[in-house]
Structure 1
Amino acid sequence: MTVLLAHDLLWGLTPEHLPADAPAWVIEAMGEGHPVVVRRALTAADQIAVGVRGRLREQRYATLMAVTAIQRRVRPEELCHVESDRDWPALQALAQLRPLLDDCGLSWGVSGSAGFELASGVEALHQHSDLDLILRTAQPLGRVQALELLKQLDAAICPVDLQLQTPNGAVALREWAGSAQRVLLKSASGVRLVMDPWQALEQAA
Structure 2
Amino acid sequence: MNAERTVLAHDLLWGLPVSALADDAPDWVIEAARFGHPVVVRRALAPVGHVAVGVRGPRREQRYATFMALADVQRCVRPEQLTDAVGENDWPALQALAQILPLMNALGLIWGVSGSAGFELASGIAALHEHSDLDLILRTPDFVSRGWAAELVQKLDVAVCHVDVQLQTPFGAVALREWAGASRQVLLKSARGAELVAQPWLLQEVCA
Which category of TM-score, normalised to the shorter sequence, fits these structures? over 0.9
Q: Which residue of 1 aligns with 2:19?
A: 16
Amino acid aligned to 2:26: P
> How far apart in 1 are the matches of 2:158 and 2:71?
43
1:5 aligns to 2:8 (yes or no): yes
Q: Which residue of 2 aligns with 1:101?
A: 104
Instruction: State the 1:45 CA deviation.
Output: 2.1
C-alpha contact (below 8 Å) 1:48/1:65 kept by paired residues: yes
Structure 2 unmatched ranges of 5 or more: none
Runs of 4+ displaced beyond 2 Å:
none
> How far apart in 2 are the matches of 1:200 and 1:164?
16
> How far apart in 2 are the matches of 1:121 and 1:203?
38
Q: Which residue of 2 aligns with 1:199?
A: 202
Q: Which residue of 2 aligns with 1:52?
A: 55
Which stretch has the larger CA shift, 43-52 or 107-116?
A: 43-52
Query: Which of the residues 75, 80, 95 maps onto 2:78?
Result: 75
Amino acid aligned to 2:135: D
Q: Among all aligned residue pairs of Structure 1 and Structure 2, give the percentage whose two residues are the same amino acid.
A: 63
CA RMSD, aligned part only?
1.3
Question: Cα deviations across residues 130-187 of structure 1 (Å, max 9, x unaligned)?
Answer: 0000000000011100000000111110011100000000000000000001000000
> How far apart in 2 are the matches of 1:46 and 1:75?
20
> How far apart in 2 are the matches of 1:175 and 1:140?
15
Q: Which residue of 2 aligns with 1:144?
A: 147
C-alpha contact (below 8 Å) 1:192/1:204 kept by paired residues: no
Q: Which residue of 2 aligns with 1:127?
A: 130
TM-score normalised to the size of structure 2?
0.96
Query: Which of the residues 173, 178, 183 maps onto 1:175?
Result: 178
Question: Cα deviations across residues 16-41 of structure 1 (Å, max 9, x unaligned)?
Answer: 22110000010111111100000001
> How far apart in 1 are the matches of 2:52 and 2:207?
26
> How far apart in 2 are the matches of 1:133 and 1:14?
28
C-alpha contact (below 8 Å) 1:135/1:165 kept by paired residues: yes
> How far apart in 2 are the matches of 1:201 and 1:58?
36
TM-score normalised to the size of structure 1?
0.97
Instruction: State the 1:200 CA deviation.
Output: 3.4
Cα gap change, 1:193/1:45 in structure 2, threshold over 3 Å: closer, same or farther?
same
Structure 1 unmatched ranges of 5 or more: none
> How far apart in 2 are the matches of 1:204 and 1:157?
39
Which stretch has the larger CA shift, 109-118 or 150-159?
A: 150-159
> How far apart in 2 are the matches of 1:116 and 1:168?
24
